[in-house]
Structure 1
Amino acid sequence: MTAGASRQALAAARERLDALTDSTSVDAAQLADELAAVTALLNREVSLRRVLTDPAQPGEAKAELAGRLFGGQVSSTTIDLVSGLVRSRWSQPRDLVDALEDLANTADLTAAQQAGALDDVEDELFRFGRIVTSSTELRAALTSRTAGKAAKGELLSSLLGGRANAATERLVTRLVTAPRGRSLEAGLESLSKLAAARRDRTVAVVTSAVPLSDGQKQRLGAALAKLYGRQMHLNLDVDPEVLGGIRVQVGDEVINGSISDRIEDASRRMAG
Protein backbone atom coordinates (compact mmCIF):
# COMPACT_ATOMS: atom_id res chain seq x y z
CA MET A 1 0.00 0.00 0.00
CA THR A 2 2.13 2.87 -1.28
CA ALA A 3 -0.14 5.49 -2.83
CA GLY A 4 -0.81 8.62 -0.79
CA ALA A 5 -4.60 8.36 -0.56
CA SER A 6 -4.43 4.80 0.78
CA ARG A 7 -1.68 5.63 3.28
CA GLN A 8 -3.76 8.49 4.67
CA ALA A 9 -6.88 6.35 4.86
CA LEU A 10 -5.04 3.58 6.69
CA ALA A 11 -3.46 6.03 9.15
CA ALA A 12 -6.89 7.46 9.96
CA ALA A 13 -8.34 3.97 10.39
CA ARG A 14 -5.54 2.98 12.78
CA GLU A 15 -6.27 6.06 14.88
CA ARG A 16 -9.96 5.12 15.02
CA LEU A 17 -9.07 1.57 16.00
CA ASP A 18 -6.77 2.79 18.79
CA ALA A 19 -9.49 5.10 20.09
CA LEU A 20 -12.07 2.29 20.08
CA THR A 21 -9.84 -0.28 21.74
CA ASP A 22 -8.90 2.18 24.49
CA SER A 23 -12.40 1.53 25.78
CA THR A 24 -12.64 -1.39 28.21
CA SER A 25 -16.06 -2.22 26.77
CA VAL A 26 -14.56 -3.24 23.39
CA ASP A 27 -13.41 -6.84 23.04
CA ALA A 28 -10.32 -6.45 20.84
CA ALA A 29 -10.11 -10.19 20.06
CA GLN A 30 -13.73 -10.28 18.91
CA LEU A 31 -13.15 -7.14 16.87
CA ALA A 32 -10.18 -8.86 15.20
CA ASP A 33 -12.27 -11.89 14.26
CA GLU A 34 -15.03 -9.72 12.80
CA LEU A 35 -12.64 -7.55 10.82
CA ALA A 36 -11.00 -10.72 9.49
CA ALA A 37 -14.41 -12.00 8.36
CA VAL A 38 -15.09 -8.74 6.50
CA THR A 39 -11.60 -8.96 4.98
CA ALA A 40 -12.30 -12.48 3.69
CA LEU A 41 -15.63 -11.42 2.19
CA LEU A 42 -14.25 -8.39 0.35
CA ASN A 43 -11.24 -10.39 -0.79
CA ARG A 44 -13.62 -12.83 -2.50
CA GLU A 45 -16.18 -10.31 -3.78
CA VAL A 46 -14.28 -8.15 -6.24
CA SER A 47 -17.37 -6.29 -7.47
CA LEU A 48 -18.43 -5.41 -3.93
CA ARG A 49 -15.07 -3.92 -2.98
CA ARG A 50 -15.11 -1.90 -6.20
CA VAL A 51 -18.48 -0.46 -5.23
CA LEU A 52 -17.27 0.33 -1.71
CA THR A 53 -14.17 2.12 -3.01
CA ASP A 54 -15.76 3.88 -6.01
CA PRO A 55 -14.60 7.52 -5.77
CA ALA A 56 -17.60 8.59 -7.84
CA GLN A 57 -19.99 7.51 -5.07
CA PRO A 58 -20.62 9.67 -1.98
CA GLY A 59 -18.91 8.44 1.15
CA GLU A 60 -22.13 8.39 3.17
CA ALA A 61 -23.86 6.26 0.56
CA LYS A 62 -21.05 3.71 0.73
CA ALA A 63 -21.14 3.77 4.53
CA GLU A 64 -24.89 3.13 4.49
CA LEU A 65 -24.39 0.21 2.13
CA ALA A 66 -21.76 -1.27 4.46
CA GLY A 67 -24.17 -0.84 7.38
CA ARG A 68 -26.91 -2.72 5.55
CA LEU A 69 -24.53 -5.48 4.47
CA PHE A 70 -22.95 -6.13 7.84
CA GLY A 71 -25.66 -5.01 10.24
CA GLY A 72 -26.66 -7.90 12.48
CA GLN A 73 -23.60 -9.87 11.34
CA VAL A 74 -20.92 -8.02 13.28
CA SER A 75 -20.79 -5.64 16.24
CA SER A 76 -21.55 -1.94 15.98
CA THR A 77 -17.86 -1.25 16.66
CA THR A 78 -16.84 -3.19 13.58
CA ILE A 79 -19.50 -1.47 11.49
CA ASP A 80 -18.20 1.92 12.68
CA LEU A 81 -14.69 1.00 11.57
CA VAL A 82 -15.78 -0.40 8.21
CA SER A 83 -18.01 2.61 7.58
CA GLY A 84 -15.09 4.93 8.22
CA LEU A 85 -12.94 2.91 5.84
CA VAL A 86 -15.39 3.06 2.96
CA ARG A 87 -15.92 6.80 3.44
CA SER A 88 -12.20 7.27 2.77
CA ARG A 89 -10.57 7.47 -0.63
CA TRP A 90 -8.43 4.53 -1.79
CA SER A 91 -5.83 4.46 -4.52
CA GLN A 92 -7.11 1.07 -5.65
CA PRO A 93 -9.87 -1.25 -4.40
CA ARG A 94 -7.49 -3.90 -3.09
CA ASP A 95 -5.98 -1.38 -0.67
CA LEU A 96 -9.24 -1.44 1.29
CA VAL A 97 -8.84 -5.18 1.88
CA ASP A 98 -5.20 -4.73 2.86
CA ALA A 99 -6.26 -2.10 5.40
CA LEU A 100 -8.97 -4.32 6.88
CA GLU A 101 -6.45 -7.13 7.29
CA ASP A 102 -4.01 -4.73 8.94
CA LEU A 103 -6.68 -3.61 11.40
CA ALA A 104 -7.67 -7.21 12.19
CA ASN A 105 -4.07 -8.11 12.98
CA THR A 106 -3.58 -4.92 14.99
CA ALA A 107 -6.72 -5.65 17.01
CA ASP A 108 -5.38 -9.11 17.91
CA LEU A 109 -2.04 -7.61 18.93
CA THR A 110 -3.90 -5.00 20.97
CA ALA A 111 -5.74 -7.80 22.77
CA ALA A 112 -2.39 -9.41 23.57
CA GLN A 113 -0.98 -6.07 24.75
CA GLN A 114 -3.97 -5.49 27.02
CA ALA A 115 -3.39 -8.93 28.53
CA GLY A 116 0.30 -8.18 29.09
CA ALA A 117 1.28 -10.84 26.55
CA LEU A 118 2.59 -8.79 23.63
CA ASP A 119 6.21 -9.79 24.29
CA ASP A 120 5.19 -13.45 24.26
CA VAL A 121 3.38 -13.04 20.95
CA GLU A 122 6.38 -11.30 19.37
CA ASP A 123 8.68 -14.08 20.49
CA GLU A 124 6.30 -16.82 19.38
CA LEU A 125 5.92 -15.32 15.91
CA PHE A 126 9.69 -15.21 15.58
CA ARG A 127 10.19 -18.77 16.82
CA PHE A 128 7.45 -20.09 14.56
CA GLY A 129 9.15 -18.42 11.60
CA ARG A 130 12.41 -20.13 12.51
CA ILE A 131 10.66 -23.51 12.77
CA VAL A 132 9.10 -23.05 9.35
CA THR A 133 12.44 -22.03 7.84
CA SER A 134 14.18 -25.10 9.24
CA SER A 135 11.52 -27.63 8.16
CA THR A 136 10.96 -28.06 4.43
CA GLU A 137 8.15 -30.55 5.05
CA LEU A 138 6.27 -28.25 7.41
CA ARG A 139 6.57 -25.29 5.08
CA ALA A 140 5.32 -27.41 2.18
CA ALA A 141 2.31 -28.54 4.21
CA LEU A 142 1.41 -25.03 5.29
CA THR A 143 1.78 -23.50 1.83
CA SER A 144 0.31 -26.36 -0.22
CA ARG A 145 -2.24 -25.22 -2.79
CA THR A 146 -4.02 -28.57 -2.67
CA ALA A 147 -4.50 -28.77 1.11
CA GLY A 148 -7.72 -27.18 2.33
CA LYS A 149 -8.06 -24.49 4.98
CA ALA A 150 -9.48 -26.97 7.47
CA ALA A 151 -6.50 -29.29 7.13
CA LYS A 152 -4.04 -26.43 7.55
CA GLY A 153 -5.99 -25.14 10.53
CA GLU A 154 -5.89 -28.56 12.19
CA LEU A 155 -2.14 -28.80 11.60
CA LEU A 156 -1.57 -25.40 13.17
CA SER A 157 -3.81 -26.29 16.09
CA SER A 158 -1.72 -29.38 16.75
CA LEU A 159 1.46 -27.28 16.60
CA LEU A 160 0.35 -24.20 18.52
CA GLY A 161 -2.73 -25.16 20.51
CA GLY A 162 -1.97 -24.89 24.21
CA ARG A 163 1.67 -24.02 23.46
CA ALA A 164 1.29 -20.45 22.18
CA ASN A 165 -0.76 -17.42 23.08
CA ALA A 166 -4.25 -17.42 21.59
CA ALA A 167 -3.46 -14.24 19.64
CA THR A 168 -0.41 -15.91 18.09
CA GLU A 169 -2.48 -18.88 17.00
CA ARG A 170 -5.16 -16.65 15.47
CA LEU A 171 -2.62 -14.49 13.62
CA VAL A 172 -0.69 -17.43 12.21
CA THR A 173 -3.84 -19.34 11.28
CA ARG A 174 -5.24 -16.41 9.33
CA LEU A 175 -1.93 -15.92 7.56
CA VAL A 176 -1.64 -19.59 6.57
CA THR A 177 -5.27 -20.13 5.56
CA ALA A 178 -5.65 -16.79 3.75
CA PRO A 179 -2.17 -15.74 2.52
CA ARG A 180 -3.57 -13.39 -0.15
CA GLY A 181 -0.60 -13.88 -2.45
CA ARG A 182 2.18 -13.43 0.13
CA SER A 183 4.84 -15.93 1.03
CA LEU A 184 4.63 -17.38 4.52
CA GLU A 185 7.96 -15.81 5.43
CA ALA A 186 6.90 -12.36 4.24
CA GLY A 187 3.65 -12.61 6.14
CA LEU A 188 5.38 -13.59 9.39
CA GLU A 189 7.89 -10.76 8.99
CA SER A 190 5.04 -8.31 8.47
CA LEU A 191 3.30 -9.55 11.62
CA SER A 192 6.51 -9.21 13.62
CA LYS A 193 6.95 -5.62 12.47
CA LEU A 194 3.34 -4.83 13.30
CA ALA A 195 3.79 -6.32 16.76
CA ALA A 196 6.93 -4.24 17.35
CA ALA A 197 5.10 -1.13 16.19
CA ARG A 198 2.54 -1.55 18.99
CA ARG A 199 5.19 -0.15 21.31
CA ASP A 200 7.01 1.91 18.73
CA ARG A 201 9.87 -0.59 18.76
CA THR A 202 12.09 -1.94 16.03
CA VAL A 203 12.91 -5.64 15.73
CA ALA A 204 16.56 -6.69 15.87
CA VAL A 205 17.25 -10.30 14.89
CA VAL A 206 20.22 -11.40 17.01
CA THR A 207 22.09 -14.60 16.13
CA SER A 208 24.79 -15.83 18.49
CA ALA A 209 26.89 -18.97 18.83
CA VAL A 210 25.53 -19.65 22.32
CA PRO A 211 22.51 -18.29 24.21
CA LEU A 212 23.08 -14.79 25.58
CA SER A 213 22.97 -14.16 29.29
CA ASP A 214 20.37 -11.76 30.70
CA GLY A 215 23.09 -9.18 31.22
CA GLN A 216 24.33 -9.49 27.65
CA LYS A 217 20.79 -9.12 26.32
CA GLN A 218 20.19 -6.01 28.41
CA ARG A 219 23.48 -4.39 27.38
CA LEU A 220 22.95 -5.22 23.71
CA GLY A 221 19.37 -3.96 23.76
CA ALA A 222 20.44 -0.71 25.42
CA ALA A 223 23.32 -0.20 22.96
CA LEU A 224 21.10 -0.80 19.94
CA ALA A 225 18.41 1.50 21.35
CA LYS A 226 21.01 4.28 21.61
CA LEU A 227 22.31 3.61 18.11
CA TYR A 228 18.90 3.69 16.46
CA GLY A 229 17.20 6.17 18.74
CA ARG A 230 14.24 3.95 19.62
CA GLN A 231 13.33 0.88 21.61
CA MET A 232 14.47 -2.44 20.19
CA HIS A 233 12.83 -5.83 20.52
CA LEU A 234 15.44 -8.60 20.35
CA ASN A 235 14.49 -11.77 18.49
CA LEU A 236 17.13 -14.23 19.65
CA ASP A 237 18.45 -17.17 17.66
CA VAL A 238 21.37 -19.54 18.28
CA ASP A 239 23.66 -20.73 15.48
CA PRO A 240 27.01 -22.40 16.34
CA GLU A 241 28.38 -21.31 12.96
CA VAL A 242 28.57 -17.73 14.23
CA LEU A 243 31.83 -18.94 15.88
CA GLY A 244 31.63 -17.12 19.14
CA GLY A 245 30.54 -13.82 17.72
CA ILE A 246 27.20 -12.24 17.10
CA ARG A 247 25.16 -11.17 14.10
CA VAL A 248 22.54 -8.44 14.44
CA GLN A 249 20.11 -7.57 11.67
CA VAL A 250 17.92 -4.48 11.91
CA GLY A 251 15.86 -4.16 8.75
CA ASP A 252 18.30 -4.39 5.86
CA GLU A 253 21.33 -3.47 7.98
CA VAL A 254 23.56 -6.27 9.29
CA ILE A 255 26.14 -5.85 12.06
CA ASN A 256 28.73 -8.59 12.57
CA GLY A 257 31.26 -8.87 15.39
CA SER A 258 31.76 -9.96 18.97
CA ILE A 259 29.33 -8.91 21.65
CA SER A 260 31.87 -6.90 23.64
CA ASP A 261 33.30 -5.20 20.53
CA ARG A 262 29.86 -4.10 19.33
CA ILE A 263 28.74 -2.81 22.72
CA GLU A 264 31.99 -0.89 23.15
CA ASP A 265 31.73 0.47 19.60
CA ALA A 266 28.14 1.57 20.24
CA SER A 267 29.20 3.33 23.42
CA ARG A 268 32.09 5.10 21.66
CA ARG A 269 29.82 6.25 18.83
CA MET A 270 27.30 7.65 21.26
CA ALA A 271 29.99 9.37 23.30
CA GLY A 272 31.46 10.90 20.14
Structure 2
Amino acid sequence: MNGASREALAAARERLDALTDNTSVDAGRLADELAAVTALLDREVSLRRVLTDPAQAGEAKAELAQRLLAGQVGGEAADLLAGMVRSRWSQSRDLVDALEELADTADLTAAQRAGTLDDVEDELFRFGRIVSSSTELRAALTDRAAATSAKRELLRSLLGGRAKATTERLVTRLVTAPRGRSLESGLESLSKLAAERRERLVAVVTTAVPLSDTQKRRLGAALGKFYGHTMHLNIDVDPEVVGGIRVQVGDEVINGSLADRIEDAGRRLAS
Protein backbone atom coordinates (compact mmCIF):
# COMPACT_ATOMS: atom_id res chain seq x y z
CA MET A 1 0.00 0.00 0.00
CA ASN A 2 1.05 3.57 -0.51
CA GLY A 3 -0.20 7.10 -0.04
CA ALA A 4 -3.71 7.43 1.30
CA SER A 5 -4.17 3.67 1.81
CA ARG A 6 -1.11 3.45 4.04
CA GLU A 7 -2.44 6.25 6.24
CA ALA A 8 -5.90 4.67 6.33
CA LEU A 9 -4.44 1.30 7.36
CA ALA A 10 -2.40 2.93 10.14
CA ALA A 11 -5.54 4.57 11.50
CA ALA A 12 -7.45 1.27 11.29
CA ARG A 13 -4.69 -0.53 13.18
CA GLU A 14 -4.93 2.05 15.96
CA ARG A 15 -8.69 1.61 16.20
CA LEU A 16 -8.31 -2.17 16.35
CA ASP A 17 -5.66 -1.87 19.07
CA ALA A 18 -7.91 0.43 21.09
CA LEU A 19 -10.73 -2.11 20.81
CA THR A 20 -8.76 -5.24 21.60
CA ASP A 21 -6.87 -3.62 24.48
CA ASN A 22 -10.25 -3.77 26.20
CA THR A 23 -10.38 -7.30 27.59
CA SER A 24 -14.17 -7.30 27.44
CA VAL A 25 -13.94 -7.49 23.64
CA ASP A 26 -13.82 -11.06 22.31
CA ALA A 27 -10.86 -10.79 19.95
CA GLY A 28 -11.43 -14.27 18.49
CA ARG A 29 -15.04 -13.51 17.60
CA LEU A 30 -14.01 -10.15 16.18
CA ALA A 31 -11.43 -11.93 13.99
CA ASP A 32 -14.09 -14.24 12.58
CA GLU A 33 -16.43 -11.35 11.84
CA LEU A 34 -13.74 -9.27 10.16
CA ALA A 35 -12.79 -12.31 8.07
CA ALA A 36 -16.45 -12.65 7.00
CA VAL A 37 -16.56 -8.97 5.99
CA THR A 38 -13.30 -9.46 4.08
CA ALA A 39 -14.84 -12.34 2.14
CA LEU A 40 -17.96 -10.28 1.41
CA LEU A 41 -16.06 -7.29 0.01
CA ASP A 42 -13.68 -9.55 -1.89
CA ARG A 43 -16.69 -11.05 -3.72
CA GLU A 44 -18.70 -7.87 -4.15
CA VAL A 45 -16.45 -5.68 -6.27
CA SER A 46 -19.13 -3.04 -6.94
CA LEU A 47 -19.85 -2.72 -3.21
CA ARG A 48 -16.25 -2.15 -2.22
CA ARG A 49 -15.91 0.43 -5.00
CA VAL A 50 -18.88 2.31 -3.58
CA LEU A 51 -17.41 2.14 -0.07
CA THR A 52 -14.06 3.52 -1.28
CA ASP A 53 -15.40 6.06 -3.78
CA PRO A 54 -13.59 9.35 -3.00
CA ALA A 55 -16.47 11.29 -4.55
CA GLN A 56 -18.84 10.07 -1.83
CA ALA A 57 -18.98 11.64 1.63
CA GLY A 58 -17.24 9.60 4.29
CA GLU A 59 -20.19 9.73 6.66
CA ALA A 60 -22.57 8.49 3.96
CA LYS A 61 -20.28 5.53 3.27
CA ALA A 62 -20.03 4.79 6.98
CA GLU A 63 -23.82 4.78 7.32
CA LEU A 64 -24.11 2.43 4.34
CA ALA A 65 -21.58 0.05 5.90
CA GLN A 66 -23.46 0.09 9.20
CA ARG A 67 -26.78 -0.68 7.47
CA LEU A 68 -25.28 -3.54 5.46
CA LEU A 69 -23.73 -5.20 8.51
CA ALA A 70 -26.56 -4.58 10.97
CA GLY A 71 -27.47 -7.89 12.56
CA GLN A 72 -24.75 -9.73 10.61
CA VAL A 73 -21.75 -8.94 12.81
CA GLY A 74 -21.17 -7.39 16.22
CA GLY A 75 -20.96 -3.67 16.85
CA GLU A 76 -17.16 -3.67 17.07
CA ALA A 77 -16.68 -5.11 13.57
CA ALA A 78 -19.31 -2.79 12.10
CA ASP A 79 -17.74 0.24 13.78
CA LEU A 80 -14.29 -0.74 12.49
CA LEU A 81 -15.52 -0.97 8.91
CA ALA A 82 -17.43 2.29 9.26
CA GLY A 83 -14.28 4.02 10.45
CA MET A 84 -12.27 2.52 7.60
CA VAL A 85 -14.64 3.66 4.85
CA ARG A 86 -14.54 7.21 6.21
CA SER A 87 -10.86 7.18 5.27
CA ARG A 88 -9.50 7.63 1.76
CA TRP A 89 -8.09 4.58 -0.06
CA SER A 90 -5.81 4.65 -3.08
CA GLN A 91 -7.43 1.50 -4.49
CA SER A 92 -10.65 -0.26 -3.53
CA ARG A 93 -8.79 -3.55 -3.09
CA ASP A 94 -6.61 -1.96 -0.41
CA LEU A 95 -9.65 -1.81 1.88
CA VAL A 96 -10.07 -5.59 1.62
CA ASP A 97 -6.36 -6.22 2.19
CA ALA A 98 -6.53 -4.03 5.30
CA LEU A 99 -9.58 -5.87 6.65
CA GLU A 100 -7.82 -9.18 6.15
CA GLU A 101 -4.83 -7.94 8.13
CA LEU A 102 -7.07 -6.72 10.94
CA ALA A 103 -8.79 -10.13 11.10
CA ASP A 104 -5.43 -11.88 11.39
CA THR A 105 -4.22 -9.38 13.98
CA ALA A 106 -7.35 -9.88 16.08
CA ASP A 107 -6.77 -13.64 16.05
CA LEU A 108 -3.16 -13.11 17.12
CA THR A 109 -4.33 -10.79 19.88
CA ALA A 110 -6.61 -13.56 21.16
CA ALA A 111 -3.60 -15.89 21.21
CA GLN A 112 -1.57 -13.28 23.06
CA ARG A 113 -4.25 -13.00 25.75
CA ALA A 114 -4.29 -16.78 26.08
CA GLY A 115 -0.51 -16.87 26.46
CA THR A 116 -0.03 -18.93 23.28
CA LEU A 117 1.32 -16.31 20.87
CA ASP A 118 4.89 -17.65 21.00
CA ASP A 119 3.58 -21.12 20.14
CA VAL A 120 1.53 -19.76 17.23
CA GLU A 121 4.51 -17.88 15.84
CA ASP A 122 6.65 -21.02 16.06
CA GLU A 123 3.95 -23.20 14.50
CA LEU A 124 3.51 -20.82 11.56
CA PHE A 125 7.24 -20.94 10.93
CA ARG A 126 7.40 -24.73 11.16
CA PHE A 127 4.37 -25.18 8.91
CA GLY A 128 6.03 -22.97 6.32
CA ARG A 129 9.10 -25.20 6.46
CA ILE A 130 6.98 -28.31 6.01
CA VAL A 131 5.20 -26.84 2.99
CA SER A 132 8.45 -25.73 1.35
CA SER A 133 9.92 -29.23 1.77
CA SER A 134 6.92 -31.11 0.34
CA THR A 135 5.90 -30.40 -3.25
CA GLU A 136 2.96 -32.80 -2.93
CA LEU A 137 1.54 -31.03 0.11
CA ARG A 138 1.99 -27.62 -1.46
CA ALA A 139 0.28 -28.79 -4.62
CA ALA A 140 -2.67 -30.16 -2.65
CA LEU A 141 -3.10 -26.95 -0.67
CA THR A 142 -2.81 -24.63 -3.68
CA ASP A 143 -4.77 -26.67 -6.24
CA ARG A 144 -7.43 -24.29 -7.59
CA ALA A 145 -9.55 -27.21 -8.77
CA ALA A 146 -9.67 -28.83 -5.34
CA ALA A 147 -12.76 -28.28 -3.22
CA THR A 148 -12.48 -25.94 -0.26
CA SER A 149 -13.92 -28.64 1.98
CA ALA A 150 -11.13 -31.02 0.94
CA LYS A 151 -8.48 -28.47 1.80
CA ARG A 152 -10.09 -27.82 5.17
CA GLU A 153 -10.13 -31.54 5.91
CA LEU A 154 -6.49 -31.91 4.89
CA LEU A 155 -5.46 -29.06 7.18
CA ARG A 156 -7.57 -30.51 10.00
CA SER A 157 -5.71 -33.81 9.64
CA LEU A 158 -2.36 -32.03 9.66
CA LEU A 159 -2.95 -29.43 12.39
CA GLY A 160 -5.97 -30.56 14.40
CA GLY A 161 -4.83 -31.44 17.91
CA ARG A 162 -1.21 -30.79 16.95
CA ALA A 163 -1.25 -27.00 16.70
CA LYS A 164 -2.97 -24.18 18.52
CA ALA A 165 -6.49 -23.34 17.38
CA THR A 166 -5.32 -19.88 16.29
CA THR A 167 -2.66 -21.40 14.05
CA GLU A 168 -5.21 -23.70 12.43
CA ARG A 169 -7.67 -20.83 11.85
CA LEU A 170 -5.01 -18.55 10.33
CA VAL A 171 -3.62 -21.21 8.02
CA THR A 172 -7.08 -22.41 6.99
CA ARG A 173 -8.16 -18.88 6.04
CA LEU A 174 -4.97 -18.42 4.03
CA VAL A 175 -5.34 -21.70 2.16
CA THR A 176 -9.06 -21.45 1.44
CA ALA A 177 -9.02 -17.73 0.57
CA PRO A 178 -5.52 -16.88 -0.71
CA ARG A 179 -6.77 -13.80 -2.57
CA GLY A 180 -3.95 -13.94 -5.11
CA ARG A 181 -1.14 -14.58 -2.64
CA SER A 182 1.21 -17.50 -2.79
CA LEU A 183 1.10 -19.85 0.18
CA GLU A 184 4.67 -18.96 1.07
CA SER A 185 4.14 -15.19 1.01
CA GLY A 186 0.94 -15.55 3.02
CA LEU A 187 2.67 -17.59 5.73
CA GLU A 188 5.53 -15.09 5.78
CA SER A 189 3.06 -12.22 6.30
CA LEU A 190 1.35 -14.09 9.14
CA SER A 191 4.69 -14.79 10.81
CA LYS A 192 5.60 -11.11 10.55
CA LEU A 193 2.29 -10.06 12.12
CA ALA A 194 2.83 -12.54 14.96
CA ALA A 195 6.34 -11.20 15.59
CA GLU A 196 5.09 -7.60 15.62
CA ARG A 197 2.33 -8.51 18.06
CA ARG A 198 4.78 -10.31 20.34
CA GLU A 199 7.05 -7.25 20.46
CA ARG A 200 4.23 -4.85 21.34
CA LEU A 201 3.50 -3.76 24.88
CA VAL A 202 0.53 -1.71 26.08
CA ALA A 203 0.90 1.07 28.62
CA VAL A 204 -2.30 2.23 30.30
CA VAL A 205 -1.64 5.89 31.10
CA THR A 206 -3.92 7.86 33.43
CA THR A 207 -3.19 11.60 33.65
CA ALA A 208 -4.67 14.48 35.58
CA VAL A 209 -4.81 16.62 32.41
CA PRO A 210 -4.80 15.75 28.69
CA LEU A 211 -1.34 15.24 27.18
CA SER A 212 -0.13 17.11 24.14
CA ASP A 213 1.01 15.15 21.08
CA THR A 214 4.61 16.03 21.96
CA GLN A 215 4.19 14.70 25.51
CA LYS A 216 2.63 11.49 24.17
CA ARG A 217 5.55 10.97 21.80
CA ARG A 218 8.10 11.66 24.53
CA LEU A 219 6.40 9.35 26.99
CA GLY A 220 5.98 6.59 24.41
CA ALA A 221 9.62 6.86 23.34
CA ALA A 222 10.90 6.86 26.92
CA LEU A 223 8.79 3.85 27.91
CA GLY A 224 9.70 2.05 24.69
CA LYS A 225 13.41 2.47 25.36
CA PHE A 226 13.00 1.58 29.02
CA TYR A 227 11.12 -1.67 28.32
CA GLY A 228 12.86 -2.51 25.06
CA HIS A 229 9.60 -2.94 23.17
CA THR A 230 7.33 -0.94 20.90
CA MET A 231 4.88 0.76 23.22
CA HIS A 232 1.20 1.49 22.58
CA LEU A 233 -0.32 4.10 24.88
CA ASN A 234 -3.92 3.92 26.07
CA ILE A 235 -4.57 7.27 27.70
CA ASP A 236 -7.35 8.19 30.15
CA VAL A 237 -7.85 11.52 31.91
CA ASP A 238 -8.69 11.53 35.63
CA PRO A 239 -8.26 14.88 37.48
CA GLU A 240 -7.89 13.02 40.78
CA VAL A 241 -4.93 10.83 39.77
CA VAL A 242 -2.18 11.06 42.39
CA GLY A 243 1.07 12.68 41.23
CA GLY A 244 -0.34 13.81 37.92
CA ILE A 245 0.17 10.51 36.11
CA ARG A 246 -0.17 6.76 36.57
CA VAL A 247 1.37 4.30 34.11
CA GLN A 248 0.63 0.58 34.15
CA VAL A 249 2.56 -1.85 31.95
CA GLY A 250 1.42 -5.38 32.64
CA ASP A 251 1.52 -5.83 36.40
CA GLU A 252 3.94 -2.95 36.97
CA VAL A 253 2.53 0.40 38.08
CA ILE A 254 4.51 3.63 37.89
CA ASN A 255 3.32 6.77 39.67
CA GLY A 256 4.77 10.26 39.50
CA SER A 257 4.79 13.42 37.44
CA LEU A 258 5.23 13.17 33.69
CA ALA A 259 8.43 15.20 33.62
CA ASP A 260 9.95 13.26 36.52
CA ARG A 261 9.19 9.89 34.92
CA ILE A 262 10.66 10.87 31.55
CA GLU A 263 13.78 12.34 33.15
CA ASP A 264 14.15 9.28 35.41
CA ALA A 265 13.82 6.92 32.45
CA GLY A 266 16.53 8.87 30.65
CA ARG A 267 18.86 8.71 33.66
CA ARG A 268 18.32 4.95 34.05
CA LEU A 269 19.01 4.38 30.36
CA ALA A 270 22.25 6.37 30.56
CA SER A 271 23.50 4.58 33.68
Q: TM-score normalised by the shorter chain: which range applies?
A: 0.7 to 0.9
Q: Is the 8 A contact 2:118 2:198 kept in 1?
A: no
Kindly tell me the number of residue pairs found equivalent between the two proteins. 203
Distance 1:95 1:88 in 2: 12
How far off is 1:60 after superposition? 0.7
Instruction: Provide, for residues 151-207 of structure 1, a one-character-per-residue CA deviation record: whole Å limited to 9, x for no partner.
Output: 101110111111111110000000000001111000000100111011338xxxxxx
Residue type of the partner of 2:9?
Answer: L
Over the aligned positions, Cα root-mean-square deviation in angstroms equals 1.3
Instruction: Provide, for residues 93-124 of structure 1, a one-character-per-residue CA deviation record: whole Å limited to 9, x for no partner.
Output: 00000000000000000000011111000000
Identity of aligned residues (%): 81
Residue type of the partner of 2:89?
Answer: W
Residue type of the partner of 1:152?
Answer: K
Distance 2:115 2:52 in 1: 37
What residue is the counterpart of 2:185 in the other structure?
Answer: 186
SS of structure 2 residue aligned to 1:82: helix
2:56 aligned with 1:51: no
Q: Is the 8 A contact 2:8 2:87 kept in 1?
A: yes
Residue type of the partner of 2:54?
Answer: P
SS of structure 2 residue aligned to 1:198: helix
What residue is the counterpart of 1:257 in the other structure?
Answer: none
Q: Which runs of 4+ in 1 moved over 2 A?
A: none
Distance 1:230 1:86 in 2: 31
What residue is the counterpart of 1:160 in the other structure?
Answer: 159
Instruction: Provide, for residues 212-245 of structure 1, a one-character-per-residue CA deviation record: whole Å limited to 9, x for no partner.
Output: xxxxxxxxxxxxxxxxx979xxxxxxxxxxxxxx
Distance 2:170 2:93 in 1: 20
What residue is the counterpart of 2:147 in the other structure?
Answer: 148
Residue type of the partner of 2:45?
Answer: V
What residue is the counterpart of 2:128 in the other structure?
Answer: 129
Alignment of 1:103-118 (within 5 A): 103-118=102-117
2:126 aligned with 1:119: no
Residue type of the partner of 1:117?
Answer: T
Instruction: Provide, for residues 25-81 of structure 1, a one-character-per-residue CA deviation record: whole Å limited to 9, x for no partner.
Output: 110010000000000010011000000000000111001100110010000010110
Distance 1:150 1:4 in 2: 38
How far off is 1:148 after superposition? 1.4
What residue is the counterpart of 1:219 in the other structure?
Answer: none
Distance 2:145 2:77 in 1: 33
Distance 1:175 1:12 in 2: 24
Distance 1:177 1:185 in 2: 14
Alignment of 1:187-206 (within 5 A): 187-200=186-199
Residue type of the partner of 1:30?
Answer: R
Residue type of the partner of 1:102?
Answer: E
Distance 1:149 1:183 in 2: 16
Q: Is the 8 A contact 2:41 2:96 kept in 1?
A: yes
Distance 1:199 1:115 in 2: 13
Distance 1:33 1:149 in 2: 17
2:38 aligned with 1:26: no
SS of structure 2 residue aligned to 1:63: helix
SS of structure 2 residue aligned to 1:199: helix
Distance 1:60 1:17 in 2: 19
What residue is the counterpart of 1:9 in the other structure?
Answer: 8
